[in-house]
Structure 1
Amino acid sequence: MTAPFDKTALRVRLRGQRRRLAAEIRDAAARAAARLPIERLPPFEVFSLYMPMGSEMDPRPLLELLRRNGARAALPAAGGRDAALSFRLWDPAMPLVPDAFGIPAPPALADEVEPDLVIAPVLAFDRAGRRLGQGAGHYDRTISALRARKPVFVLGLAFAGQEIDQLPEEAHDERLDAILTETDYMTVS
């Protein structure tokens, strides 16, 4: 019998690793943006970024690249602990307000949208598209709900050093369609 996988201990170790990577590779976000093959993404009208917390890779260098063909940007907003995220249209000139977890988000008066392309923060990933997040399940619940209504392409944004050989997978986990790092763009088959 195999011992249960300790995601809590793994998250503690990986947060420290991500902090070290963020300190060592200061231009990682710009390098990742330069590696994004936009022509390999499925068509999208609305995409979502996220406001980086702590040592998460900053997706904002992707903003102008993704807006070039008229796509609109959105940011997630958390409404509560067990709720899915909502997405609100966002322009960088717009002032942000703290959501239920204190993360900067567009104000409630911003239009809610359903993105076709979701850029997701990553604590760890593997080449099969498994993603380890912060542990609250917001992205898994949100992506599951979106995918039940329409096709959604999920791109994980991470440092190359966050790759793990194989992450455990639970029934509620939603896989990434591709992963973008400062060194590579990987599609999941």
Structure 2
Amino acid sequence: MSSRPLEKRELRAAMRAERKRLSGLDPTVAHRVADHAGDLPPAAVVAVYRAIGTELDAAPLASALATAGRRLCLPVVVEPDAPMIFRRWAPGEPLEPDLVGVPAPLPLAETVEPELIVTPMLAYDARGWRLGQGGGHYDRTFAALPAALRVGLAYAGQEVAGLPVEPHDVRLHGVLTEVGYRPFA
């Protein structure tokens, strides 16, 4: 076994603990992030996510984007090792668990292709690399939708000096935190 997966596994454990710590510090963080919704790159259709565990809550951002006239969608896992699909969604509409148990729009919702994908993460670095949960759902989806802008949603404290990178990893175009939007070169 190579050292890289072990390195990522250890980093994931450390960053889960750090994200948990950060999530308990300030209950207004998600609303402060939403205050920067207008700083995101232009996109008519924006994919957001439903937070699980200590992921930064994207609900206030979703509300701000919807108020600004952006159409929203949520990712849906329909096959275990395939890219996710996206279904149109608006705050308050009903959700049901997808294949991996994440709340997702009902199957009757229109399937759309987002221009901007907001993604949760455990960590990010200044080069735009993202450390996710390890399932590969977002990296497969990013690879399948190369024209979509990829923006991480995180606490500013989730930034690390550098991340191990594997061939399947896909860089972010920017990150949105409580201190604002930061594009990556």
TM-score class, shorter: over 0.9
**1:183 Cα shift?**
2.0
Instruction: Report the AA paired with residue 13 of structure 1.
Output: A
Instruction: Report the AA paired with residue 25 of structure 1.
Output: D
State the partner residue of 1:125: 124
State the partner residue of 1:112: 111
State the partner residue of 2:180: 184
Instruction: Report the AA paired with residue 164 of structure 1.
Output: V
**1:6 Cα shift?**
1.1
Q: Secondary structure of the residue that 2:165 maps to in structure 1?
A: coil
**1:68 Cα shift?**
4.0
How many residue pairs get aligned? The number is: 183
Q: Distance in 1 between the 2:69 and 2:32 partners?
A: 23
RMSD: 1.6
Moved over 3 A (4+): 2-5
Q: Distance in 2 between the 1:124 and 1:105 partners?
A: 24
Equivalent residue in structure 2 for 1:174, among 160, 170, 174: 170
Instruction: Give unpaired runs (5+ residues) of structure 2.
Output: none
Q: Secondary structure of the residue that 1:58 maps to in structure 2?
A: coil
Q: Spell out the pairing of 1:33-182 with structure 2 (5 A cutoff).
A: 33-38=34-39, 41=41, 43-147=42-146, 151-182=147-178
**1:168 Cα shift?**
1.4
TM-score (norm. length: structure 1): 0.91
TM-score (norm. length: structure 2): 0.93
Query: What percent of counterpart residues are identical?
Result: 43
Instruction: Report the AA paired with residue 152 of structure 1.
Output: A
Q: Secondary structure of the residue that 2:35 maps to in structure 1?
A: helix
**1:3 Cα shift?**
5.3
Q: Secondary structure of the residue that 1:172 maps to in structure 2?
A: coil
State the partner residue of 2:24: 23
Instruction: Report the AA paired with residue 61 of structure 2.
Output: L
Q: Distance in 1 between the 2:94 and 2:181 partners?
A: 32
Contact 2:121/2:153, CA 8 A, preserved across alignment: yes
Stretch deviating more after TM superposition (59-68 or 23-32): 59-68
1:81-137 deviations in whole A, cap 9, x for unaligned?
A: 212111000022321000011110001111100000110001000011000000011
Instruction: Report the AA paired with residue 89 of structure 2.
Output: W
State the partner residue of 1:11: 12
Q: Distance in 2 between the 1:16 and 1:3 partners?
A: 22
Q: Distance in 2 between the 1:53 and 1:64 partners?
A: 18
Q: Secondary structure of the residue that 1:24 maps to in structure 2?
A: coil
Q: Distance in 1 between the 2:160 and 2:168 partners?
A: 20
1:142-163 deviations in whole A, cap 9, x for unaligned?
A: 011011xxx2111100011110
Instruction: Report the AA paired with residue 73 of structure 1.
Output: L
Instruction: Report the AA paired with residue 88 of structure 2.
Output: L
